[in-house]
Structure 1
Amino acid sequence: MSSEKPTSTTVEKLTKYYSLQVVSQERLYNFLPKISVLDSDKVCSDFIHSLIDQICGKIISFDRFINDENQRIVYQLIRVYTLFINKVVGKDLKKEYICEDLKTANVENIYITTVSDCIISRFQDIKKELTEKLSAISSSSLCDFDWKMNAILSSDRINIVQENVLLLNLTIETNINDKKEQVLIELSKKELDHILETFDQINEVIQSLKV
């Protein structure tokens, strides 16, 4: 009589990190070790729980973590660790894989333990929130669009400057009575660059929710 050994569930690695599917995003994880700028593992725990609160829809102030010397770093940590949490929860990673990703990023051991414990302790809350956000995104969809460039003149006391403006006409379809709405957006180059950057961030969140 033969007995079968239980097979362990393994996670496919598409990059050097279990939680990333796109190699170009690896550079973002280079900032993960900067978590050591926080004074202790206790402060780190408070920081990660505050991030999770924000992900779950609460309005959070991070002022208590910021001083004149670390302001830029803390703001970057907020962005990068929000992405990291979205990624590991979106891929439903176990603690061992979360720790392995942090280790690969050269995060100090004491912070690896703290960060992974915080995420695991609130894993289901995060997953529920991300699922609801994805559902909300999916409730409306872009079914058509049109665009054209307009040249407008702007002036100050000295110069008259021609500025190109993008006119974007979006047709949005909602799930409510199959209603369609027309949305007209006028964007300067600076505004267009900003919205493209925002779309890139939205795509990162959506990719993190894909299994």
Structure 2
Amino acid sequence: MAGDRCSIPVGVLSKCDNDILYKLLHELVDGICERRCVRYQDYMKTWDLQDWWDVSDTCQSFIKQAIKHGWTKDKIENSVSELSKDQKQILTEVILSRSDELREHLRSKTTQISNASLQDFDWQMKLAMSSDKLATVQEPLLVVDLNIRESEKKKAVSLEMNKLELEKMITSFEAANKVVQQLKS
């Protein structure tokens, strides 16, 4: 639970009234969803630049964390126990009312790491009997043909791997899978 505590600067947030906080949180959500950029000029009467950075960065991080972990109303309020009752209620209302669009946007941003996606693959196992340098090799080779779609173009990639190269590739795929599983939980 301690790792879930919010580091939102309570003293800095107390400088604004609830209407400003409500407007700010909705604008921060719009910023996360890349609809509208939050401007310091709109809040410079309330906070100096350093306080503005603290408030905007920590609130955005908190909102993303709450969405990532699917926090309930109680969990959100417990994570910001230092805030006033009204501030907790505003924060909770904004996060929960816009959770679907936030989750969808964050999910699509995650999947947009690359334009390329695997459409299909085929593989063959071959046995290299000899090479130009050795009379007898007898080494198994795996040939993998990947059909990749990049934007609207299709591209074919062919890989030929010996046993050691295949083991390295499998190890890197397993490590990538662990990272994906950690991000899901």
Q: CA RMSD in A?
A: 3.0
SS at match of 1:57: coil
Alpha-carbon distance, 1:34 to partner: 4.0
Residue 95 of structure 2 is matched in structure 1 by 119
> If the length of structure 2 is used for normalisation, what is the TM-score?
0.59
Alpha-carbon distance, 1:30 to partner: 2.8
Q: Matches of 2:183 and 2:34 in 1, distance apart? A: 17
SS at match of 1:52: helix
Larger radius of gyration: 2
Alpha-carbon distance, 1:120 to partner: 0.8
| Among 73, 89, 100, the residue aligned to 2:78 | 100
Residue 23 of structure 1 is matched in structure 2 by none
CA contact (8 A) 2:13 2:55 kept: no
SS at match of 2:112: helix
CA contact (8 A) 2:8 2:59 kept: no
CA contact (8 A) 1:35 1:44 kept: no
Percent identity between matched residues is: 16
Q: Matches of 1:16 and 1:122 in 2, distance apart? A: 26
| Among 79, 82, 88, the residue aligned to 2:60 | 82
Alpha-carbon distance, 1:55 to partner: 0.8
Q: Tell me which stretches of 4 or more aligned residues in structure 1 moved more than 6 Å.
A: none
Superposed CA deviations along residues 116-164 of structure 1, whole A, max 9, x for unmatched, are 11111111011110010011125569xxxxxxxxxxxxxxxxxxxxxxx
Q: Matches of 2:183 and 2:104 in 1, distance apart? A: 11
Q: Matches of 1:38 and 1:68 in 2, distance apart? A: 6
1:59 aligns with 2:36: yes
Residue 73 of structure 1 is matched in structure 2 by 51
Alpha-carbon distance, 1:59 to partner: 2.6
Alpha-carbon distance, 1:87 to partner: 0.6
Correspondences of 1:1-211 after superposition (within 5 Å): 15-18=1-4, 29-62=6-39, 63-67=41-45, 70-103=48-81, 106-137=82-113, 139=115, 176=150, 177=154, 210-211=184-185
The one of the two structures with greater contact order (alpha-carbon pairs below 8 A, sep at least 6) is 1
